[in-house]
Amino acid sequence: MKLVIIGGVAGGASAAARARRIDEKAEIVLIERGEHVSFANCGLPYYIGGEIDDRDSLLVQTPRKLGRRFNLDVRCNSEATRIFPDRHQVEVRDLIAGRTYLESYDRLILSPGAAPFVPDIPGAGLEGVYTLRTIPDAERIRALVEREKPATAVVAGGGFIGLEMAENLHRRGIRVHLVEMASQVMPAVDEDIAAFLHRELRDKGVKLHLSTRVEAVERDSGGLLVRLSGSEAICAGLVILSVGVRPETRLAAGAGLALGAGGGIEVDDHLRTSDPDIYAVGDAVEVRNLVTGRKELIPLAGPANKQGRIAADNALGGRGVSFRGSLGTSIVRVFDLVLARTGASEKQLKAESLEYLSSWTHSASHASYYPGAGQISIKLTFSPVDDTLYGAQAVGRDGVDKRIDVLATALANKMTVHELTELDLAYAPPFGSGKDPVNMAGYVASNILNGDVAVAHWNELNGFRDNGRLLLDVRSRPEFALGHIPGALNIPVDELRARLAELDPDRETVAYCRVGVRAYIACRILAQQGFGRVRNLSGGYVTYSTAAPGDTTSALERESLLQGQE
């Protein structure tokens, strides 16, 4: 058996290593266009920023070590230019020697990845304008930063790479302008979750340009002049284009392999393409979204590594192993804040026309009495029909990663939000709480499903006081004085029973507090006193003051909100 793998890094390198563990006698050829066959491309922004100082630490395996350990024929600086499926051959160009030759195969695994999208704008090819995909890309950017010490940089795109580059260039003392054509950074998450990142970026001095695009880059006497939509122009010494990636499907399309609706390579559950002897993995393939069931591109390292293993199992072992799909579980650090997601967001569920409910919680990352506790904000989406979890998004400064991993596990096993309340999670004061933030998220969602409380969301409050409706702030008077939703009536929850006569039981009322706990208690009091039209503001004032457009909450007040307890 002869297996040829086109493309290294996550999918291809893991496929090669797995293939050798399955079949010691197989001939395995790994063809890689670049000079590095297995490297940590997710670490490149941190190398540019200096947090990772040694370039060689990014090399997961060198071609020589990978070849020796697994007895592989590793050919770097070799580009597969064409596939002939009828002849079971690949055309390969040796980029060093400049010669072209044909390589035969019995089975072929494609792992071409995805390439940074370069917008069709004037000046995109100028010196000082870069994309980031490979170690040589990172070396060029870092060399420019260290050699020319630019005062200002423009980062176009607010996805993973854009956010990480904004942080790491800021670490280098560079003034950063982050330009995003959407109305929020991290388009995969909901706008109210992204709002936490907007604040963090602005607080750290990054200039955000939302709903804005780079229209041209020009060379001028001061370096580069970056022209934005809306006639604004920025003088910069460095421009990073990180406006998205596109699947590398040229080889697949040229070989007549079927492509999916999203432009990626179409594969079945065994990662087999439309040709039975060709498999495909990684950023270039369309896989099933485990929540919506739709095939889509999910360009993440975790799924690519798993797919490489499965493709090797099926190509060499004939084991019929299936790749179930992906939840798109992902995480990013932006300065002192961490944001993570898994499953379907609210915007995805709306796009799929799926009926859903959502809830917010703001819990301490560990026992609040133990020093260093911060806030973890969790937004759940879930089904009102069978109570199953649809998705989770979380943001905070500590402990976000382990909570999103628990929620991803719950999603993969189709757990209901009620079952989240029963999860037996590790607790000691430095690490968690008796009721973990995941448990608390489950309790709040269960209360909604059980009819214990109705909820309103922050984006429903615009004009809410029209038609005689009431906003009821049940926090303390000092909290109310620090900041509140305009037009709200303040009755602290501990005074509520004594002041019921001040309220109309027939009036539609939304109660709110800092994060929702006291307002939930207030709603239960009012409901049992005959108030029939009462709702709790999900996530309370923390969510509202972060997500509401035009909010002017000060950094000092925000810190008070983040650190305060119910």
3-state secondary structure labels for all residues of 238-251: EEEECCCEEECCHH
- 113 contacts 283 by C-beta, under 8 angstroms: yes
Query: CB-based contacts of 205: which residues, under 8 Å, 6+ apart?
Result: 170, 175, 176
Tell me the pairing of strands 375-382 and 337-343: unpaired
- 138 contacts 44 by C-beta, under 8 angstroms: yes
Q: Which long-range contacts (CB under 8 A, 24 or more apart) does 466-470 make?
A: 467/508, 468/507, 468/508, 469/507, 469/508, 469/509, 469/510, 470/503, 470/504, 470/507, 470/508, 470/509, 470/510
Q: Active-site residue 235, yes or no?
A: no
Q: Write down the pLDDT at residue 63.
A: 80
Residue by residue, DSSP assigns 153-197 as EEEE--SHHHHHHHHHHHHTT-EEEEEESSSSSSTTS-HHHHHHH
Cα separation, 519 vs 485, in Å, equals 14
Number of helical (H) and strand (E) elements in the chain, helices listed first:
16, 33
Per annotation, catalytic residue among 42, 235, 513, 523: 513
* Sign of the torsion angle spanned by Cα atoms 483, 485, 489, 490: negative
What confidence tens digit (pLDDT) does each residue in 192-217 have?
999 999 999 999 999 999 999 999 99
Count how many Cα atoms sit within 13 Å of the Cα of residue 138 in the half-sphere of its side chain: 25
Structure tokens at 507: 């009036």
Q: Is 183 left (phi over 0), alpha (psi -120 to 50) or beta?
A: alpha
Cα separation, 437 vs 363, in Å, equals 5
Cα separation, 180 vs 53, in Å, equals 29
Q: Write down the pLDDT at residue 556.
A: 44
Place of tokens 């799929």: 352
Residues of the chain with pLDDT under 50: 552, 554-556, 561-562, 564
